[in-house]
Amino acid sequence: MHTRPFGTTGMKVSAIGLGAWQLGRSSQWPDGPDEAQAVRIVHTALDNGVTFIDTAPGYADGRSELNIGRALAGRRRDEAVICTKFGYLPDGSDNWSSTEIEASVRHSAERMNVDHVDIVVLHNPPPEILDGRRSDHYEVLQRLQDDGVIRAYGASVDWSADLDMVLDSSASTAFEVRLSALYQEPWPAVGRARDRGAGTIVKVPLESGWLSGRHTADSVFTDVRDRWSRDDITLRAGLVDEFRSLLPDGVSLLSGALRFLLSYDAVSTVIPGSKSVAQLQSSIAAAADGPLPAEAVTAIRAWYDSRLAARPLDW
């Protein structure tokens, strides 16, 4: 597993990280892994050089952090760089009060059985929280960094404008950004974040499974993705076929999707979700050959600009 610098923070992270949104059987994920399976997923990740884990207090109804804690018991703390979030609670509610940040971070550390959390990001907050000129959240996070409670902080965002807002109004050096071959709108801002010394975590890299090859035009969704209409599903299936046609011979859909993202030095780590050891191992193997050839990257960028840039997909 290749490692990459997380901006200029001094941390290094694995090119492929473990996205732990689904790391637990819950109301969100009725088919998610049970405790034993979740521990095996984390152990497999660490044993295969996956050193970055992304979670949040509300993931899998709070079970994600608890399962990470079970898995880390008895392991060296320096085996993993851990990112968690602030804003949403295990019961599905939210609390954006800056006075709750420190308690939230410390509770996350307790649940994960660690003495500190490496990275904390605001979890897609409302604009008045995201903008550091209108809130004091980044000041609190900076104090926690100064006190050694965390090592870096920032925000999880979906759009260039939001990322730029955080860059302009805070000293953030950690961003979690939605990016994929089917959603490239934030690329320019990610480059600006790199130039500022920030690390970028790519979330939803497989477009909720579409770029792993799991879904087709005939797929039916009964979980949090049941929001997609039949027209949405047909559109995505067609776009996946178009993307597949741009990949070099012998490169699978999954491999092409992950290696496209890793072709950019502005990307620190990519975090596909894993509900099983097999899914995790597939992602690790798919990215093993490093970035895509430059000509394939250029073709995919041009395809996106002509096909989707004017109307980005809602994930």
* Residue 261 structural domain: 3-212+254-291
End-to-end CA distance of the chain: 28
What's residue 27's pLDDT? 83
Contact of 82 with 116, CB cutoff 8 Å = no
The alpha helices in 27-180, defined as continuous H runs, are 35-47, 63-72, 101-111, 127-130, 137-146, 160-169
Residue 229 lies in a domain: no
What's residue 315's pLDDT? 66
Q: What is the domain count for the chain? A: 1
Distance of alpha carbon 131 from alpha carbon 86, whole angstroms: 15
What's residue 28's pLDDT? 82
Q: What is the domain-level CATH number for residue 127?
A: 3.20.20.100
Residue 123 lies in a domain: yes
- Written as tens digits, the pLDDT of the chain (315 aa) is 899 999 999 999 999 999 999 999 988 888 889 999 999 999 999 999 999 999 999 999 999 999 999 999 989 999 999 999 999 998 889 999 999 999 999 999 999 999 999 999 999 999 999 999 999 999 999 999 999 999 999 999 999 999 999 999 999 999 999 999 999 999 999 999 999 999 999 999 999 889 998 888 898 887 667 788 888 889 999 999 999 999 999 999 999 999 999 999 999 999 999 999 999 999 999 998 889 999 999 999 999 999 998 888 776
Position 182, amino acid: L
Residue 231 lies in a domain: no
Residue 225 lies in a domain: no
For 52-62, what is each residue's pLDDT tens digit? Answer: 999 999 999 99
Phi, psi of 106 (to 5 degrees): -70, -35
The 3-state DSSP class for residue 22 equals coil
Integer angstrom CA distances of residue 130 from 34, 93, 167, 296: 34, 18, 10, 35
Which tokens in the block code for residue 93? 């509610």
What's residue 1's pLDDT? 83
The 3-state DSSP class for residue 52 equals strand
> Please, what sign has the CA dihedral across residues 249, 255, 261, 267?
negative
- The neighbouring-strand residues paired with 85 are 121
Residue 100 lies in a domain: yes
Residue 38 lies in a domain: yes
